Structure 1
């Protein structure tokens, strides 16, 4: 099972998919690319995939369900548009063809989101086939989700709508809402296999629509920090997780406070031979760092706080850089990052 969702808020659509591929008949311990750690108990997750595909910039397709059927359907859709223009008419013909033969894909849920010149005001034409959960209960928030994580995912967004502080920019606000959900579920995987036992999680891929094209949210770093309430000046790094796209693959870097690091390459559906990690420069940079603070209160309760710390000017130096150097990983944050963490921590503690 999986998690695929499209979140449509303030006319800024975002598609999020998890990376776990599960088999309920197989239980084993597995290293999770989102944390770099092995599960503490067996889970039904057997491998990882990028579950969304962008075709000719204006069509995004995402899948959940049985892998063999997903790969057959993905191949059919990609081939269909290889020598055709992508527009409303061609998409509807494709949808009719799939619907007429849906018994071949009965264990798949698929999302087809079309943008491009036929649609204005950053709007999309969205078609969903299969089993989807929908929620339109909140103003400026429409959400569709499928897979074993759908119910929990929708619940999170509905319950937390309105809690994020606006940064005064529609794009940033919508991206932050998505990143807050991602970092929440990644942080839970440090101490629990609950979501993985349901066959979903293990990292997320974010696609957003802007300027008439779909884009992957690239070069994002998840930074996990720990601090005690009685010693707020001693903020420690628990883990760093960087995500960078190479063609349709995602290169994931994990680094922990023991100094251990690991690079993983996760391919998309339908790829028989993934890129070799040997030929890729193992370096990281991020202008945006989504930060999860684990705050241990005086009563030993752990409180989690999410901060988005970004470099607003793209020509400025990145907020985070890192590179593999022989058998070690070297990294650095801009001073502005540490200042922003301390400011955010202080603001949070002042309202407690």
Structure 2
């Protein structure tokens, strides 16, 4: 079970996916994940989360493949797709011939989305992941988590000016969705019962090739309402940093939410690869993702996200000393965070 999604923003293709692998419950041991350390606490029948793997795979500078369903079928398909692309160009007729070889019952457990860019022209291929329009955004989805994406993406998609090809504009809908899904899972476990989540990747086409979004820091906040209706903003003691070391997607979690603070590091590899080396992501960032859980006195909790770059996150810093990771932020940073998340004029108290 999984979640994959693709969309086109100002002619630029973007693919995102989760990392969890699950099997029927009782057939394996549960693992720790970046979003939820003890997954068995959040899981119900009939799934068991037993491993993590990259669902978004760059198989060629001009081709990216996202998959959902059978791990074995995906691995065979990805290997064949790489071989095909090494031996042939991205000509439409040759790609269609390649797909016909997999149009059989042996691969009925595989959903996939493939984006290619050939001679400057974007092409979309799929298996069980039709393209459709969602609030003005052309999307494709697959896996058990696609309903959550469909329900949520309308809150993150904002029409961009034609020709705005800036990286932050192109990745904003996907990255904002990832922030929301990550935050929901961290606080509630939502998605684990359906076998999707854990962590998320995003790939996009820029500077003549597909690449993965790297160097992302996730910061989580709570905003608690008092009897006067005011909210107090507090950093939640859980940080997530993601980096790539070669092809390995490394996720570092600084978890101070339990009695004993701990740092957990996860290596998540492409299909068919392993990496046992311990990588330590640096505490720098290109993107700063803020997730805010608003806890009201009455009614259900609400959430919002804010996407910043290193250049725009003025007044924010993160430091590690004596085994402890600390956030430092200025009043100006809090004002910008609240403006981004809630709109002008909504400034929360902070501690």
**Is the structural similarity TM-score above 0.5?**
yes
8 Å Cα contact 1:64-1:109 kept in structure 2: yes
SS in 2 for 1:307: strand
2:98 is the counterpart of 1:94: yes
Q: Distance in 1 between matches of 2:130 and 2:191?
A: 18
Compute the TM-score of the two structures, normalised by the length of structure 2.
0.82
Deviation, structure 1 residue 55: 2.5
Q: Distance in 2 between matches of 1:155 and 1:97?
A: 35
User: Aligned Cα RMSD in Å?
Assistant: 3.3
Cα deviations by residue, 1:84-106 (Å, 9 ceiling, x for unpaired): 4444444233223333xx33222
Residue 128 of structure 1, aligned match among 126, 129, 132: 126
Cα deviations by residue, 1:116-162 (Å, 9 ceiling, x for unpaired): 4x125xxx201002x225431532x11111111123322322x4365
Q: Distance in 2 between matches of 1:345 and 1:112?
A: 33
Residue 268 of structure 1, aligned match among 270, 275, 297: 270
Q: Distance in 1 between matches of 2:89 and 2:283?
A: 36
1:173-188 alignment to 2 at 5 Å?
Answer: 173-188=169-184
Query: Taking structure 1 as reference, are residues 241 and 58 closer, same or farther at Cα in structure 2, changes over 3 Å only?
Result: same
Query: Taking structure 1 as reference, are residues 160 and 96 closer, same or farther at Cα in structure 2, changes over 3 Å only?
Result: same
Deviation, structure 1 residue 76: 1.5
8 Å Cα contact 2:335-2:347 kept in structure 1: no
Deviation, structure 1 residue 77: 1.5
8 Å Cα contact 1:287-1:319 kept in structure 2: no
Where structure 1 has 5 or more consecutive residues not aligned to the other structure, the ranges are none
Deviation, structure 1 residue 68: 1.3
SS in 1 for 2:101: helix
Q: Distance in 1 between matches of 2:297 and 2:64?
A: 47
SS in 2 for 1:189: helix
Q: Give the match for residue 328 of structure 1.
A: 323
Q: Give the match for residue 186 of structure 2.
A: 190
Residue 63 of structure 2, aligned match among 59, 81, 86: 59
Q: Give the match for residue 307 of structure 1.
A: 306
Cα deviations by residue, 1:219-274 (Å, 9 ceiling, x for unpaired): 11111112323475652233211111122221001113344221111111112xx2
Q: Distance in 2 between matches of 1:98 and 1:217?
A: 30
Q: Which moved more, 1:333-342 or 1:184-193?
A: 333-342
Query: Taking structure 1 as reference, are residues 146 and 350 closer, same or farther at Cα in structure 2, changes over 3 Å only?
Result: same
Cα deviations by residue, 1:27-56 (Å, 9 ceiling, x for unpaired): 765422234454424452221111121133
8 Å Cα contact 1:219-1:242 kept in structure 2: yes
Query: Taking structure 1 as reference, are residues 253 and 229 closer, same or farther at Cα in structure 2, changes over 3 Å only?
Result: same
Q: Give the match for residue 160 of structure 1.
A: 155
Q: Distance in 2 between matches of 1:19 and 1:344?
A: 29
Query: Taking structure 1 as reference, are residues 235 and 318 closer, same or farther at Cα in structure 2, changes over 3 Å only?
Result: closer
Q: Distance in 1 between matches of 2:328 and 2:253?
A: 16
Q: Give the match for residue 53 of structure 2.
A: 49
Q: Distance in 2 between matches of 1:345 and 1:95?
A: 43
Q: Distance in 2 between matches of 1:165 and 1:225?
A: 27
2:70 is the counterpart of 1:75: no
Query: Taking structure 1 as reference, are residues 125 and 48 closer, same or farther at Cα in structure 2, changes over 3 Å only?
Result: same
Compute the TM-score of the two structures, normalised by the length of structure 1.
0.82
2:113 is the counterpart of 1:111: yes
Q: Distance in 2 between matches of 1:311 and 1:143?
A: 29
Query: Taking structure 1 as reference, are residues 220 and 37 closer, same or farther at Cα in structure 2, changes over 3 Å only?
Result: farther
Runs of 4+ off more than 6 Å:
165-168, 316-319
2:221 is the counterpart of 1:219: no
